[in-house]
Amino acid sequence: MLPTLSPGRRDAWVLALCQGLYTAAISIDLTLTGLTGYQLAPDKALATLPFALITVAGAVVTLSAAFLLQRLGRRLGFALGALAGACGGAVSVWAVMHANFWVFCLGTAAVGVFQAFAGYYRLAAADAVGAAEKGRAVSRVLAGGVVAAVLGPLLAAWSKDLFPQALFAGAYLMVCLLGLLSLALLLGLYRDHQTAAAAGPQAIEPPRSFAEVARQPIFAASVANNVIGSAVMMLVMTAAPLAAVGHHHSIDDGAGIIQWHMVGMYAPSLIAGTLIQRVGLGPMLFAGMALNAACVAVAMASTDLVAFYLALFCLGVGWNFMFVGGTTLLAQSYRPSERAKVQGLAELLRYGITAAASLVAGPLLERYGWAGLNAAVLPLLALAAAMTLWWVAAQRREAAVLEQA
């Protein structure tokens, strides 16, 4: 039974369930789409196009999704995103059964639309509660991916042979069903409550220009942690299986490393919100950066299998701390009248830079090796630390002014 302590918390639990369903669905797509594309492509050079379209479609739609969520309301907007995911799964089933590569591309692009809308689940949960509860609301939603991150690939392996005459079609049927289940939860249980405590005194203030919002230290720190944390994670994660195989570990070892990494990405969400309330947002963010730095140190020190597992686990936990903390800062950086604009542009920036990181991972690994690629992460972490220190200093100045008043 869903907790009903408050409408905002209830909504957060519904979104956590939807996050789990989305994570399971996208895990299936990410696990099998490269293989399916290779199987269907008329030219094998196009084999990775369906996989790329998931990210590209998400990036293209993410800004429009923010304004659509504002116009339609989050309940209907999120339902529309889940419906796109279900349709994407269904189209992919048809495409695989009929061996149609271009229709399959259409299906994976629709799943990318689902991804764009689901990216706002955590922000919706943060907007529904007061400032003190935002970190816990964000971590609660991301915790929905803990089981799904492991279950998705297992579900893909179990369902890919459901239709013997069409390999992988059964897995995409699972994507369709997970999207439909998410749709039912959103329409049946989600209400998008916005309490007075969540809105705060800024609710009646007019919107500022994006440039004015972006000049705030809190916004700079939020973007630094969300964008840099995600880019670092994608860069190292994308290269890790290739590096593991290149250092004489098996393909199954590479898959196991990523699965362990995904546990690190989502499991800390069970306690991240509580940690923010107990130790503070600043220490949480710096702990995330330190864990990313630990990943670099371990990766540069050894290429043993244990080192790969430890490095990628540290990377996952570090991303979680930076992402939960960065999202909490982002949710505090805008007025309600600015929500769609600021959230949309911040997510577009994160999508674009993360996609670029995934594209350069292979060339960087090929040219500089596993140690060199990890070393390239350190300047990015230093930039994130500088932006976060700027926000911490501004926060302390504001506290000093309040004490003197």
Q: What is the pLDDT of residue 2?
A: 46
Average pLDDT of the segment spanning 71-79: 94
Kindly state whether residues 151 and 280 are assigned to the same domain: no
- Average confidence score pLDDT of the chain: 88
Query: Which pLDDT does position 374 carry in this prediction?
Result: 96
Render pLDDT for 266-305 as a digit per residue (tens, 0 to 9). 889 888 888 888 899 999 999 999 999 999 999 999 999 9
Supply 117's token pair: 């809308």
Domain C-terminal end among 155, 172, 199? 199
Residue with tokens 């990890």: 374
Is the predicted pLDDT of residue 228 greater than 90, yes or no? yes
Of 217, 245, 234, which is closest to residue 292 (Cα–Cα)? 234
- In eight-state DSSP terms, residue 215 is T
For the chain, the residue count is: 405
Asked if 249 and 384 sit in the same domain, the reply is yes
Range of the domain at 376: 205-405
The answer to whether residue 262 scores a pLDDT higher than 90 is no
Burial class for 399, CB neighbours closer than 10 Å (0-12, 13-18, 19+):
exposed
3-state class (DSSP) for residue 161: coil
Number of domains forming the structure of the chain: 2
pLDDT digits 0-9 by tens, 135-183: 888 888 888 887 777 777 778 778 888 888 888 899 999 999 999 999 9
Per-residue model confidence (pLDDT) at position 1:
46
Beta strands in 240-345 (DSSP E): none
- Residue 26 pLDDT > 90, yes or no? no
Q: Are residues 188 and 218 in the same domain?
A: no
C-beta contacts of 277-283 below 8 A and 24+ residues apart: 277/132, 277/135, 277/136, 281/135, 281/325, 281/328, 281/329, 282/388, 282/391, 282/392, 282/395
Q: Are residues 45 and 143 in the same domain?
A: yes
156 and 215 share one domain: no
* Confidence check: pLDDT of 360 > 60: yes
Please indicate, yes or no, whether residues 171 and 230 belong to a single structural domain of this protein: no
Q: Which residue has the higher pLDDT, 209 or 318?
A: 318
Q: Residues 114-119: what's their mean pLDDT?
A: 94
177-213, pLDDT tens digit by residue?
999 999 999 999 998 876 544 455 555 678 898 889 9
292 and 321 within one domain: yes
The C-alpha angle 120, 341, 208, rounded to 5 degrees, equals 135
One domain, residues 269 and 169? no
Residue 203's pLDDT is what? Answer: 55
Q: Is 211 exposed, middle or buried (0-12, 13-18, 19+ CB in 10 A)?
A: exposed
Segment 93-108, tens digit of pLDDT: 999 999 999 999 999 9
Give the rounded percent of residues in the chain with a pLDDT score beyond 90: 50
- Looking at per-residue pLDDT, the higher value among 276 and 88 belongs to 88
Other residues' Cβ atoms within 10 Å of the Cβ of residue 188 = 8
DSSP string, 216-260: SHHHHHHHIIIIIHHHHHHHHHHHHHHHHHHTT--HHHHHHHHHH
Which pLDDT score, from 0 to 100, does residue 5 have?
A: 55
Single residue among 151, 176, 199 that ends a domain in this structure: 199
Residues 307 and 376 in one domain: yes
| CATH number of the domain where residue 89 is located | 1.20.1250.20
Residue with tokens 């696990």: 31
Shared domain check, 130 and 19: yes
Residues 354, 222 share a domain: yes
For the chain, what percent of residues have pLDDT higher than 70?
A: 95
**H helical segments located in 247-376:** 251-266, 269-279, 281-301, 305-331, 339-375
CB 33 within 8 A of CB 153: no
Q: Which residue, 199, 219, 247, sits at the end of a domain?
A: 199
Whether 113 and 213 map to the same domain: the answer is no
The predicted pLDDT at position 388 comes to 97
